[in-house]
């Protein structure tokens, strides 16, 4: 009986340890999201300007791509000054988005009002 209790206790501790080490992941496939600077536009805590996406209303820093991969972040239409749309594929791991692909959606050019 003691061996059975010991075996049961050992099995329970292995299951608890295994459950704690598994990382929750969520796959994202070709989803349209908002993309911008996490600190400047999404008010995320960080040290500088870092690329972030907003998926289902939750902001995540991006791993696998840098903010300046898409041009000057501090330009008028850069990620520190504008929120853009993109189609992304990857997965959310430990509250970060691991990007496999990021495809920006082209913005429609609006005509400037003609000066009189």
DSSP string, 66-106: -GGGGS-TTSTTSTTT--EEEEEEEEEETTEEEEEEEEEPP
Instruction: Write the CB contacts of 89 (distance below 8 Å, at least 6 apart in sequence).
Output: 28, 29, 30, 31, 99, 100, 101
Q: Report the pLDDT averaged over residues 44-54.
A: 96
Q: Report the pLDDT averaged over residues 36-57.
A: 96
- 65-102 pLDDT per residue, tens: 999 999 999 999 899 999 999 999 999 999 999 999 99
The two tokens of residue 109 are 């050019």
Is the pTM higher than 0.75? The answer reads: no
């Amino acid at each position: 009986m003691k061996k059975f209790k010991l075996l049961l206790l050992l099995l329970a501790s292995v299951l608890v340890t295994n459950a704690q080490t598994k990382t929750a992941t969520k796959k994202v496939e070709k989803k349209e999201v908002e993309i911008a600077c996490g600190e400047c536009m999404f008010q995320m805590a960080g040290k500088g300007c870092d690329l972030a996406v907003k998926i289902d209303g939750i902001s995540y820093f991006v791993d696998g791509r840098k903010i300046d991969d898409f041009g000057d972040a501090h330009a008028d239409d850069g990620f520190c000054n504008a929120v853009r749309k993109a189609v992304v594929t990857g997965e959310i791991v430990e509250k970060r988005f691991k990007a496999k692909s990021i495809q920006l959606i082209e913005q429609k050019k609006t005509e400037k009002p003609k000066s009189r």
